Amino acid sequence: MATTKNKCPKCDGDMVRGFILDYANGAIVVPNWYEGVPKKSFWIGTSEPITEGIPVVAFRCSSCGFMEFYSHKKHKAK
pTM for the complete prediction? 0.67
**Local structure of 74: helix, strand or coil:** helix
Count of structural domains, the chain: 1
Amino acid 12: pLDDT: 95
Task: List the domain range (segments joined by +) for residue 63.
Answer: 4-75
Task: Please give the residue that has the higher pLDDT: either 3 or 23.
Answer: 23
Contacts of residue 68, Cβ cutoff 8 Å, sequence gap at least 6: 15, 58, 59
pLDDT in tens, 29-73: 788 887 777 777 666 666 666 667 888 889 999 999 999 999 877
Question: For residue 58, which of 23, 28, 30, 36 has the smallest C-alpha distance?
Answer: 30
Q: Answer for the pair 7, 14: CB distance below 8 angstroms, yes or no.
A: yes
